[in-house]
């Protein structure tokens, strides 16, 4: 689907999720998108043996998606879990985990939302995004995952679309 014919709410979501907005995006909604600073990772499991891979970090996001023509607002909530260290990549510093989480989310949003129609329920678009985000992220970092629910005790970072 050409970017110019993409539904308005999908373009708004792209503006929320995509850093720098792609051509054809309505830039008045948000400047920038998910960035590394939105991913507040917390250590949830640590491995005591430094010679073995292990340990986890988790973050939680609630990204507001607004359907421009109706004003319907839906929060797409998801968890992100990253290994602190794994066998293939070794130690994964928190700034690298944040950067990869953000770029993977932006890539998944662009791909997912390019297929959304004006009649697609926002909740369905959110679920499709989470599925693709998980696949994208785990292909970059072994053991990383996107979860449909946030890990208990991890406070969500809420991103609300700005009002015009």
Top-confidence residue, 141 or 50: 141
pLDDT of residue 129: 94
Q: E strands, 27-151, where?
A: 42-45, 56-66, 73-83, 85-86, 90-91, 145-147
Handedness of CA 116, 120, 126, 127 (dihedral sign): negative
Q: For the chain, how far is it from start to end, CA to CA, in angstroms?
A: 27
Among residues 62, 88, 66, the alpha carbon closest in space to that of 75 is found at: 62
Q: Let me know the angle formed at the C-alpha of 83 by 78 and 21, rounded to the nearest 5 degrees.
A: 50
Q: Which phi and psi (to 5°) does residue 83 adopt?
A: -70, 145
pLDDT digits (tens, 9 = 90+) for 79-122: 999 999 988 899 999 999 999 999 999 999 888 878 888 888 99
Residue boundaries of the structural domains of the chain: 3-159
Q: Please give the share of the chain, as a percent, with pLDDT higher than 90.
A: 52
pLDDT digits (tens, 9 = 90+) for 15-31: 444 333 333 333 222 23
């Amino acid at each position: 689907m050409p970017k110019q014919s993409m539904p308005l709410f999908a373009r708004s979501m792209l503006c929320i999720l995509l850093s720098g907005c792609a051509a054809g995006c309505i830039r008045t909604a948000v400047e920038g998108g998910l960035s590394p600073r939105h991913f507040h990772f917390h250590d949830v499991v640590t491995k005591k043996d430094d010679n073995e891979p292990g340990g986890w970090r988790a973050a939680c996001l609630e990204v507001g998606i607004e359907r421009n023509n109706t004003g319907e607002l839906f929060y797409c909530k998801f968890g992100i879990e990253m290994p602190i260290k794994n066998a293939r990549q070794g130690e994964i510093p928190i700034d690298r985990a944040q950067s990869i989480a953000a770029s993977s989310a932006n890539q998944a949003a662009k791909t997912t939302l390019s297929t959304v129609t004006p009649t697609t329920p926002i909740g369905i678009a959110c679920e499709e995004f989470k599925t693709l985000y998980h696949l994208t992220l785990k292909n970059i970092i072994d053991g990383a995952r996107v979860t449909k629910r946030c890990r208990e005790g991890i406070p969500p970072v809420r991103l609300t679309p700005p009002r015009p």
